[in-house]
Amino acid sequence: MTTTRNSAGTLYVCGTPIGNLKDVTLRLLEVLGAVDAVACEDTRRTLKLLTHFEIKKPVISLHQHVERERAARILDVLRQGKSVAFVSDAGMPVISDPGAYLVQAARDDGHRVLLVPGPSSVSGALALSGFPADRFIFGGFPPRKPKDRQRFFREWIKPGITSVFFESPFRVKKALSDLAAVYPDALVRLCHEMTKIHESVVAGSVGEVLATLEKQALQGEWVIVVRVEEVDEIGEKEEGGQADARLR
């Protein structure tokens, strides 16, 4: 990319609390207080964070529908040798959120891109699940249509490897029903409101979890962690399967 600028700036890719503001890091507060501007997915959510910690900065909206347009604006700020903090509504930016284009554009334009790590609902759900996480697959949000969702689960869930997905409250039960149609013996950890007052994990087989949710009105986004045991040639679970089953 060929550009004209006075000097290189710095883009900070910043993780923010996923629910409990007390999980904010000292480094994040330091960076937010020092940068020239803050780029974010939703200005209303980010302004609440900044206001809570008494930080006043210009805020630039960068949601998925205007990412390229706003990225150009942010590059103009960086070309002045200034610094910008990039945050999402919660957790690490870019993970099932906008921002990949901005990060690459800033790097291509010769600016420093630095990480300010923070909480992640993906790693948090893995830790809460009790499933092995030496290897895992993150599939983001499943498709909305049942046939596409079942095809998606066949593709993204591998026996012996823990899988993590996001889902909205409107489709959690439907997603679990489609999961049961594909993998009826799947073990599930359904994580909700992590780090908040009403944090909970619904654990069991996919059928047991569905039965637990049957009469509940669901709110908020959910993280689904799935484990399907490997089966050997004679149909027995490989070593470790019984230990995982006991976790239910």
Q: Where are the domains of the chain?
A: 10-116, 121-246
| Residue range 158-176: mean pLDDT, rounded | 96
Q: Is the CATH number of domain 121-246 2.40.110.10?
A: no
DSSP SS3 for 45: helix
| Residue range 107-136: mean pLDDT, rounded | 97
**Sequence-separated contacts (24+) of 148-156 with Cβ below 8 Å:** 149/174, 149/175, 149/178, 150/178, 150/181, 150/182, 153/178, 153/179, 153/182, 153/183, 154/182
List, for residues 16-27, the tens digit of each pLDDT value. Answer: 999 999 999 999
Same fold, 10-116 and 121-246: no
List, for residues 198-210, the tens digit of each pLDDT value. Answer: 899 999 999 999 9
**pLDDT value of position 204:** 98
C-beta separation of 226 from 165 below 8 A = yes
Single pTM value for the model: 0.86
Q: Domain 10-116 belongs to what topology?
A: Cobalt-precorrin-4 Transmethylase; domain 1 (3.40.1010)
List, for residues 181-199, the tens digit of each pLDDT value. Answer: 999 999 999 999 999 998 9
| Residue range 209-214: mean pLDDT, rounded | 95
What band does 107 get if pLDDT is binned at 50, 70 and 90?
very high
- Tokens representing 93 are 């930016």
Q: Look up residue 50 and give its amino acid.
A: L
List, for residues 69-100, the tens digit of each pLDDT value. Answer: 999 999 999 999 999 999 999 999 999 889 99
**pLDDT value of position 1:** 41
